[in-house]
Amino acid sequence: MEGTKETKEKKYSGRGGYHGGGRKKTGRLKIYANTTISGLPEEIDSLKNLAKEKGKTLSRLVIETFLSK
């Protein structure tokens, strides 16, 4: 057999299929959670419009509204 060349490649079995393919850690100290709000489309649109008028995201509006004392 002429010209056979043996190479040993490390096989990486981690996430992403190749070495370095996974999501990098950000070092972020806060961990956020998600939730869902169910309502009629016009109700959700009203909430979005209200948030926009107040210069906030919908998430921030809901959190501040329900957690205000």
Residue boundaries of the structural domains of the chain: 30-69
Tens digits of residue pLDDT in 28-66: 777 888 999 999 999 999 999 999 999 999 999 999 999
Residue that wins the pLDDT comparison between 1 and 11: 11
3-state secondary structure of 61: helix
Q: Which residues lie closer than 8 Å to 62 by C-beta, 6 or more apart?
A: 37, 47
- Are residues 30 and 16 in contact, defined by beta-carbon separation less than 8 angstroms? no
Q: Hey, what are 46's tokens?
A: 């009203």
Q: Hey, what are 22's tokens?
A: 């996974």
Enter the pTM of the model: 0.55
Tens digits of residue pLDDT in 42-52: 999 999 999 99
